[in-house]
């Protein structure tokens, strides 16, 4: 009865608008739901992440449904597809990989904010960075980074200049000079949250910087592991310069050197093994 009354009232209102004012009421617009675009090298409908990205809009989801390697790099922002709040994820049970082989910049560049990268492997390859975050409020979760075949200098799995959340990620070290896991190198102070991540150094020249922080920024890292099983003291687990502050909670350090300025060990539960 109430629905019928409401419908009749709406019709009556429309007639009054037309008769009295010669105008029709503007219909109420509803927000469109985010689209999910599926990527699969065999079945499609998109066979590359780039193709799915070019068809996407703000708030959409790109889901990779196979465990293949995708040899491509792409930009979410003004330098590529200029949208935000995009999710790029591997389907649960699959582990697709994005390879930077042949790339010179970043394998994945997040120039806009609100994006989520989830359940992928990123091969840094010859690229400078695995993921570059210059947009604010991005999340990187469940991503495995392989920087082992990187070039000869300053390659990092993640480079960021804005506040970023990094959770449940694995970082395989680099043989490059000054290469490493996470580099926060910015003139603007940012907040970095790192939770339940593993950093494994394998280099013998320069090694791997587990995390580098600069310019008065603050990082909180918890329940993570830093290890150099093959090369004692070749990685700086946490490194800070430019008056940055690193707060660490309940982490494990194996065979590494914590040569840090601005390092705060906030709990007796972190261990060196």
Question: 42 falls in which pLDDT band (50, 70, 90)?
Answer: very high
State the Cα–Cα distance between residues 149 and 75, nearest whole angstrom: 22
Q: Tell me what the mean pLDDT of segment 130-147 comes to.
A: 95
* Structure letter (DSSP) for residue 33: P
Residues 6+ apart with CB under 8 A from 249: 220, 221, 222, 223, 266, 267, 269, 270
How much is the pTM? 0.81
* Higher per-residue confidence, 203 vs 51: 51
Q: Is the pLDDT at 202 greater than 90, yes or no?
A: no
Q: Tell me what the mean pLDDT of segment 17-30 comes to.
A: 47
Of 182-191, 228-237, 246-255, which gets the smallest average pLDDT? Answer: 228-237
Structure tokens at 67: 């465990």
pLDDT tens for 92-129 read 999 999 998 777 789 999 999 999 999 999 998 778 89
State the Cα–Cα distance between residues 155 and 14, nearest whole angstrom: 64
pLDDT at 178: 59
* Higher per-residue confidence, 89 vs 266: 89
CB atoms within 10 A of CB 80: 16
State the Cα–Cα distance between residues 102 and 100, nearest whole angstrom: 6
Q: Which residues sit opposite 61 in a β-bridge?
A: 36, 87
Residues 6+ apart with CB under 8 A from 15: none
pLDDT at 175: 53
State the Cα–Cα distance between residues 96 and 117, nearest whole angstrom: 12
Q: Is the pLDDT at 207 greater than 70, yes or no?
A: no
* Higher per-residue confidence, 214 vs 16: 214
Q: Which residues sit opposite 167 in a β-bridge?
A: 141, 195
pLDDT at 191: 87
State the Cα–Cα distance between residues 182 and 179, nearest whole angstrom: 9
State the Cα–Cα distance between residues 165 and 230, nearest whole angstrom: 29
Secondary structure (DSSP) of 138-177: EEEEEEEEE-TT--SB--EEEEESS-EEEES-EEE--SSB
Q: What is the mean pLDDT of the chain?
A: 79
pLDDT at 176: 53
Residue 123: half-sphere exposure toward Cβ, Cα within 13 Å:
17
CB atoms within 10 A of CB 178: 18
State the Cα–Cα distance between residues 89 and 69, nearest whole angstrom: 14
Residue 164: half-sphere exposure toward Cβ, Cα within 13 Å:
29
Percent of the chain with pLDDT over 70: 67
Q: Is the pLDDT at 4 greater than 50, yes or no?
A: no
Of 8-12, 139-143, 161-165, which gets the smallest average pLDDT? Answer: 8-12
Question: 64 falls in which pLDDT band (50, 70, 90)?
Answer: very high
Cα 238 to Cα 23, 118, 166, 190, 263: the distances in Å are 66, 24, 15, 16, 8
Percent of the chain with pLDDT over 90: 44
């Amino acid at each position: 009865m109430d629905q019928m009354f409401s419908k009749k009232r709406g019709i009556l209102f429309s007639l009054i608008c037309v008769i009295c004012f010669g105008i029709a009421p503007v219909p109420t617009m509803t927000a469109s739901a985010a689209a999910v675009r599926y990527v699969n090298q065999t079945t499609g409908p998109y066979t590359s992440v780039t193709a799915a990205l070019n068809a996407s809009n703000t708030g959409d989801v790109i889901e990779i449904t196979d465990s293949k390697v995708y040899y491509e790099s792409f930009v979410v922002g003004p330098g590529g597809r200029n949208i935000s709040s995009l999710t790029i994820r591997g389907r649960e049970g699959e582990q697709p990989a994005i390879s930077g082989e042949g790339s010179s910049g970043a394998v994945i560049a997040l120039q806009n904010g609100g994006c989520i990268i989830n359940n992928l492997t990123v091969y840094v390859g010859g690229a400078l960075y695995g993921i570059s975050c210059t947009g604010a409020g991005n999340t990187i979760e469940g991503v495995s980074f392989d920087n082992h075949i990187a070039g000869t200098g300053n390659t990092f799995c993640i480079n960021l200049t804005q506040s970023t959340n990094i959770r449940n990620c694995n970082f395989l070290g680099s043989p490059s000079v000054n290469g490493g896991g996470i580099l926060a190198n910015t003139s603007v102070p940012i907040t970095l949250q790192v939770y339940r991540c593993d950093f494994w150094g394998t280099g013998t020249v320069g090694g791997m910087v587990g995390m580098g922080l600069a310019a008065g920024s603050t990082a909180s890292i918890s329940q993570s592991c830093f290890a150099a099983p093959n090369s004692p003291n070749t990685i700086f687990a946490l490194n800070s310069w430019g008056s940055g502050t690193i707060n660490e909670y309940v982490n494990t350090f194996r065979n590494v050197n914590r040569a840090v300025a601005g390092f705060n060990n906030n709990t007796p539960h972190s261990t060196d093994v």
